[in-house]
Structure 1
Amino acid sequence: MIEEEYIRLIFGLKMKQIRTDKNLSLFGLAKLTGLSKSYLNEIEKGKKYPKRDKIVLLADALETNYDNMVSLKLDKNLAPIGEILQSRILKEIPLDIFGIKESDLIDIIAEAPLKVNAFISTLFEIAKHYNLTRESFFLAALRSYQEAHNNYFEEIENQVEKFAKAYSIDLSKRLKVSDLEEILIEEYSYTINNQELTQHKELNNLRSVFVPSSKTLFVSSETDDSQRLFIYAKEIAYNFLNISDRLFTFSWIKFESFDQVLNNFLASYFAGALLIPRKGLVVALKEFFEQEQFDNESFQKLMYNFTDSPETFFQRLTNILPKEFNLKNLFFLRFAYKPQREFQLTKELHITNLLEPHANERNEHYCRRWVSIRTLGEIANENSDFEVFDAQVSSYVHTDNEYFVLSSATRDPFRSGYYRSIALGIMISAHSTSKISFLGSEKLKRNKVGVTCETCAILDCNERVAPPRTLERKERFSKTDQVVQDIMEKYK
């Protein structure tokens, strides 16, 4: 059933187009029809739909017929707008989390339909060119939501502490699998099955599946304790936070709406905050940041005091550092790699938009000097089951920015034959150096880096795997433009 709002808007768009095609002002149309200018304006903005007798009056004044006026068919100039309005995409876009009302967008569309149509068509072309999907759009919206809040959510932090108090959980001690399993079974009536998933080869990449009708949680027997802890903590989050619109697999394989994507994030946030409580982490980080020198073993010891999962720990740092240390110039990256294939950036978060690197959609080769790529290459070459950890100061060749980057590479626990690395970057500045003493150390490993080989100006790079084609083309165009400008100046 087509919404009344859509019908009103389409009628208003058509009326405005016919009127402007005839070079007729609203004032002029009002004179011809005897209808008020303000009433006609509200019709064109889709706020009102005229009765039949007034449509006949308008059709006569605009020298068209009644059927054309009420038809929902739009000409080619307005057709994309009709498609986007009828497709319900405005209902799917999570406008509310950014403080935008759907009516605001409709007002903009009604005000300048042809310009908005050109803009929408451009976005569609970009989306097709870069193969952007509904899935990638929602994940991008989620990242923007996280970044807008500095990836810190006080309400969830408080809910974790409320949960711990209600269930007599000591947050100063590391949780055990049995602690959370008991709550799921006794409090939320879960049945936990550890055998079913391993009997289906198609489910090798899944660690858990939840069946809500029977409250059965299927967990892969291949999960280690840190993975199982996170799965249990997420399930507790869904129940304790009363989230019903949720995903039922981990890792997720599909979603029906943005709400499910957002709720999955909130449950994951709760899980991370439960497994690595903020108070204990803040105390430990303050002590660690007072050290004058950085060494890998000390950081790994700090991490493993809280969790055996580097990804959970690095993700948790993106929550705590902006809030408790005012370190907001951060980035988080997760790379995946299978030997003989390209490195894939599968997850990224930038607390501020200043930071590099970002994912590229042009199939360019990420800089091999990044510590996250280097650790990933090392562990794959060694075919190791142990973590490869390293850190360096990365100085980008095309900017004055420097970042202290930590990276941990391990086997991918979800995909056979794959490895993955987690990286956390902290921009080096007067502020960050005042918070983290060792950032001022001259003993830190340093490396000059680019973004991709195709855009990199480091000519003597031994790690380069592709020529700087994009940079060369840009420089060639620049030289051509300069010669054109010289000729124009000479013969003006």
Structure 2
Amino acid sequence: MMIEDEYIRLIFGLKLKQIRTEKNLSLFGLAKLSGLSKSYLNEIEKGKKYPKTDKILLLAESLEIPYDHMVSLKLDKNLAPIGDILQSKILKEIPLELFGIKENNLIDIVANAPAKVNAFISTIIKISQNYNLTRESFFLASLRSYQEAHNNYFEDIENSVEKFAKSYHLDLSKKISSNDLEEILIEEFGYTINTDELEKHDDLDGLRNIFIPEKKILLIDKEITEAQKTFIYAKEIAYHFLEIKDRLYTFPWIKFESFDQVLNNFIASYFAGSLIIPRKSLTNSLTKFFEQEDWKPLDLLNIINHFNCSHETFYQRLTNILPKYFNIKNLFFLRFTHKKDSPEFRLNKELHITQQQAPHANRKNEHYCRRWISIKTIQQLENSKSLKPTFDVQISSYVNQKNEYLVLSSATSDPFKKDISRSVSLGMLLSPHLKKKLHFFNENTFTKKTVGVTCETCAVKNCSERVAKPTRLEKENKYNNIASTVESIIKSYT
């Protein structure tokens, strides 16, 4: 396998800077010693240029370093982690410019403090190995960071949706149907819709659609709901209208080949949510709802039902609109799944706007707090004989913390997986701003629960919902007591 020229340049530049720094030489000093210009040496160290053989010989002699050591691609121990990252090409797969970072600037930061930065990188690599952090989960974590950095609101996509609706005479004040979008896919983009193929394959359980680009055939599961079909059609329109080429061809996704596919999948999904739940219509509805003096959950459900969407799509859309139009920025979105009679509840999707609010995913296989409304709504659903979604709301007050959240949650059965339930939840920090914004808010209106994060770390006493002992908390308290006693003994002798 050929090693890219850019990688060779970067490695040489890192080594040159490291050797020069170790010898306490400035760029000016090395320029004087070698006869090479300071600007040229700077270009080499930044990985922009690779010197010819005669120049490398000059540098080797000036620095009193063997030529073979200068041209070797093997990095010293404290630079080895950045070498691994460069060789893995991960920096190429993630568009750093989304975060305002240039690759050369990142290399420069690392080169300036190699021991500290690379110790950090080594730690991250070890953590990812210990917690089985896959390439896909790394990409998804990067995407979440991107969303959170923008408060999960993207004006350019919102504008594109309104431009599309105007071009195709779609009235965004009315409920968008799958028929509206199917006609556009067929007439404008040359699609063929096939609802028979997928049911022939038993091993495609849970797959809702496959797009075949060469023939523009969309294979779609005939059992999906009207809302799911509308969302799939809206995503397909997004790919074409926004001229996205590097894309995924299944929903749900099977695997990502690059970060661009992760990002483009998000863009298409955002477009779909914005088309089905237009910002103007949702903002008007929420404004009226928030101005009500009394809490009327049925009115909120009526808002959801006004749009042709799933509860999950609606809750995710709130994470776009609430920060932008209502200045409600301290919020989180969670999606849990649960197999009937299983002791495990899985948190498989999360988003935190402004700060990393609890609850959030843990990688220690600990038991999530059973007092969370996210889990309660799933339990209510599974104990109910009705097939209708369950909905509930509570104030979650975190033990030993000042933060409290107003959390809305809905649970539904997974239509594609037998005995699987899932819930989606939206939590909003109970700040003075939120209490003022929600005219109906009254602490006596909502059930308040003292909650933890995981049973293993929870300090709640006599918790009837507890499913595991607070082992980590007990261990921490034990060591704190030992440390306190040791400190007391030392003080007594001094």
- How many positions carry a matched residue from both structures? 492
Question: 1:336 touches 1:346 (CA, 8 Å); kept in 2?
Answer: yes
Tell me how far apart the structure 1 counterparts of residues 186 and 48 of structure 2 sit (CA, whole Å). 53
- Partner residue in 2 for 1:423: 425
What is the CA distance between 1:26 and its match in structure 2? 6.1
Determine the C-alpha separation between the residues in 2 that align with 1:170 and 1:30. Answer: 68
Q: 2:166, 2:43 → 1: CA distance?
A: 55
Shift of 1:293: 2.4
Q: Where does 1:351-362 land on structure 2 (aligned, <5 Å)?
A: 351-362=353-364
User: Against the structure 1 CA distance between its residues 153 and 42, is the aligned structure 2 distance closer, same or farther, given a 3 Å change threshold?
Assistant: closer
**Offset, 1:28:** 6.5
Q: 1:30 to 1:179 in 2, by over 3 A?
A: closer
Q: What residue is the counterpart of 2:224 in the other structure?
A: 223
TM-score, length of structure 1 as denominator length: 0.94
How far apart are residue 66 of structure 1 and its match?
Answer: 2.5
Q: Distance in 1 between matches of 2:24 and 2:103?
A: 30
Q: Which residue of 2 aligns with 1:323?
A: 324
Q: Which amino acid aligns with 1:430?
A: P
Q: Distance in 2 between matches of 1:3 and 1:199?
A: 45
Q: The residue matched to 1:147 in structure 2 has which SS?
A: helix
Deviations 1:264-298 (A, max 9, x none): 11111111111111222122111211222224333
- Distance in 2, matches of 1:473 and 1:164, equals 59
Aligned equivalent of 1:173: 174
Q: Distance in 2 between matches of 1:41 and 1:182?
A: 58
Could you give the per-residue CA deviations for residues 65-120 of structure 1, whole angstroms, max 9, x where no partner exists?
32332222334443332222122111112211111111101212332333333222
TM-score between the two structures when normalised by the length of structure 2: 0.94
Match of 2:471 among 465, 469, 472: 469
Amino acid of the residue matched to residue 208 of structure 1?
Answer: N
What is the alpha-carbon distance in structure 2 between the residues aligned to residue 76 and residue 478 of structure 1?
Answer: 36
CA distance in 1, matches of 2:49, 2:172: 58
Aligned: 1:206 with 2:204: no
Instruction: Quickly say closer, same or farther: Cα 1:70–1:287, change in 2 above 3 A.
Output: same
Deviation at 1:382, TM superposition (A): 3.7
Instruction: State the 1:354 CA deviation.
Output: 4.8
Distance 1:376 1:453 in 2: 18
Deviations 1:423-463 (A, max 9, x none): 01111121111111122352222211111111111111100
Which range moved further: 12-21 or 334-343?
Answer: 12-21
Inter-CA distance 34–153: structure 2 relative to 1 (3 Å threshold): closer
Contact 1:411 1:418 in 2 (8 A): yes
> Contact (CA 8 Å) 2:144, 2:351: kept in 1 or not?
yes
Other-structure match for 2:67? 66
Pair 1:61–1:213, CA change in 2 (3 A): same
One of 369, 372, 375 as aligned partner of 1:373 = 375
Q: Is the 8 A contact 1:394 1:448 kept in 2?
A: yes
CA distance in 2, matches of 1:241, 1:32: 55
CA contact (8 A) 2:338 2:346 kept: yes
**Could you list the per-position Cα deviations for residues 387-409 of structure 1 after superposition, in whole angstroms to 9, with x for gaps in the alignment?**
11111111111211111111110
Q: Which residue of structure 1 aligns with residue 245 of structure 2? A: 244
In the alignment, residue 352 of structure 1 is paired with which amino acid? Answer: T
Check if 1:288 corresponds to 2:289.
yes
Distance 1:44 1:224, change over 3 A: closer
Query: d(CA) in 2 for partners of 1:426 and 1:289?
Result: 14
Aligned to 2:79: 78
Cα RMSD for the two superposed structures:
2.1
- Within-5 A mapping of 1:130-141: 130-141=131-142
Shift of 1:64: 4.0
Alignment partner of 1:397 out of 381, 396, 399: 399
Match of 1:197 in 2: 198
The answer for the alignment partner of 1:408 in structure 2 is 410
**Residues 230 and 308, structure 2, Cα contact 8 Å, conserved in 1:** no
1:437 matched to 2:439? The reply is yes
Partner of 1:459: 461
Out of 383-392 and 98-107, give the one that drifted further.
383-392
Q: Deviations over 1:339-376 (max 9, x none)?
A: 23300001111112152111111111111111110111
Per the alignment, residue 303 of structure 1 pairs with 304
CA distance in 2, matches of 1:404, 1:31: 66
Q: For structure 2, which runs of at least 5 residues remain unmatched after alignment?
A: none
